[in-house]
Amino acid sequence: MQIVGLILALLLILVAFVFIRTFLFIRKASLENGSDLPGVDVPEFHADRDAAAKHLSEVIQIETISHEDPTENVPENFEKLHKLLAKNYPLVYKTLKHEVVGDASLLFTWPGKDLSLDPVLLAAHQDVVPAEGSSLSQWTYPPFSGKIAEGFIWGRGTLDIKSQLVSLLESVEALIANGYQPERTVMLGFGSDEEVMGVGAKAIVALLQKRGVHLAAMVDEGGSVYDGLIPGVKGLTGAIGVAEKGYLSLRVWVDDHAGHSSTPAESTATSTLIRALNRIVDHPYPAKVSMISPMFEKYGAVASPVMQMAFGNLWLFGGVIKKILLKSGETAATIRTTTAVTILRGGVKDNIIPGHAEAVVNFRLLPGDTIAYVCDRLRKVIADDRVQFEPVRGNAWEASPVSPIDCDPYRHLASTAREFFPDLPCAPYIMLGGSDARNYYAICENVYRFSPYSMNDEDLGRVHGVNERLSVEAFGVMVDYFYRLIPRWSQKEL
């Protein structure tokens, strides 16, 4: 009986401990999401949403596509876009210094009253991905029509991310018209080839480095206001990107004897490669629930009771959470370095055994997992000296550093969002894809990724997909958001 009593006492202590930690977890999240910073006194402004939508529509109609094969690009379309921007935003072009960097990237500089203060930079990119030919018939309106209908602006770039480019210019134009002048210098940086992971943003950063510029903060495309997309959290949530995963594409190949298919050897180039690829896929990189703990710590006050208890007691429930997250490819990618075989090549004729077979394997690296670590582990997993691999040229970079969240630039991003989405819980997250933002760490520690429009699961599928669109109302919010954020970020104390 004494043993049973002891076990019951220990269980009660455990339950009490779990509930206390859960309560403290919820309380901390409530306090942190309620600490908004004050805005800056600027003339009241509400975007003319119809006029702004028309400007975005015009920009969508210009096909600034980045192709994998650069010979397919049309430089004249970028020139056409630049002329349109100059026409639509005369005060921006009159007041701000305007430079074309590299082939077609744009850098605008709005000098502040105090030039001793580090500038801030707000970014987007001008280019878009193509619309796949086989999918054109599935579009409600043609992908480059810029059609305004049914309350939406339709077309490639509305979500990724010409909307951010245009909303930044709309807001700066309005600030100038209303007599605002920033205390610290404000820059706008618009790369021209982000979709092919190009050099536009790198050229902007290199130019600023040459001039000795250090940025106080920068924000690029990235997280948004998500509607029902965070597991265990109902309603709207703000996700502010504080880092992004690294990128590594490896060419993996095997050379062996070619021959006739009627007399195959026990092992061939193709069979050896297939076995190696199976081992690679069957040995995924370790999952790390700790990578999303900061996000759920911020969402703790609005999460379901089960999620509150789980993330308040990771020491006890970490294994369960890991299993749940690994069931979905989307959530699994948030907690591990991912592996995907994307290209396979081998053979030219059905009765010839090829002497060479190769594949491309793409990895997206969690912060903390280096390229060297990924390659070393891969070598051990393959365990076959006949299999060789090397990075695809230009397709390898480390995961970005993680930007701080206990600072005013981050708090202003969240506070401004709550002016449009009341009581919006905001949290840091790691961006799964790539952006131009990763290049700015060379001159900035406070690098963020946030696009202030709301989107649901269906909207996510439209990015790089069919029927990309953004509502006129949501685009108006974007313009208003940056109109309020820019004075916050450009004040003397930041």
The catalytic residue positions are 127, 194
Q: CB–CB of 463/339 below 8 Å?
A: no
Amino acid identity for residue 301 in this structure: A
8-state DSSP, 256: -
Burial 169-184 (b: 16+ CB within 10 A, else e): bbbbbbbbeeebebbb
CA distances to 138, 246, 309, 396 from 365, rounded to whole Å, are 34, 4, 29, 10
The DSSP element (H or E) to which 454 belongs, if any, is strand 447-455
Cα gap 103→98, rounded to integer Å = 14
Q: CB–CB of 451/222 below 8 Å?
A: yes
Q: CB–CB of 242/430 below 8 Å?
A: yes
Cα gap 429→293, rounded to integer Å = 10
3-class DSSP string for 259-298: EECCCCCCCCHHHHHHHHHHHHHHCCCCCCHHHHHHHHHH
| Residue in the block written with tokens 């959290």 | 233
What the block records as the tokens of 487 is 């004075």
Choose among 479, 480, 451: nearest CA to 463: 451
Residue-by-residue DSSP string for 312-352: HTHHHHHHHHHHHHTTSHHHHTTTS-EEEEEEEEE-SSTTE
Total residue length of the chain: 494
The DSSP element (H or E) to which 244 belongs, if any, is strand 236-244
Strand ranges, E, within 6-150: 97-101, 105-110, 120-125, 148-149
| Residue in the block written with tokens 């062996």 | 256
| Burial of 294 per CB tally in 10 Å (0-12, 13-18, 19+) | middle
Phi first, then psi, for residue 209 (nearest 5°) are -60, -45
**CB-side neighbour CA atoms (13 Å) of 246:** 23
444's CB contacts (< 8 A; 6+ apart) are 121, 214, 215, 216, 217, 218
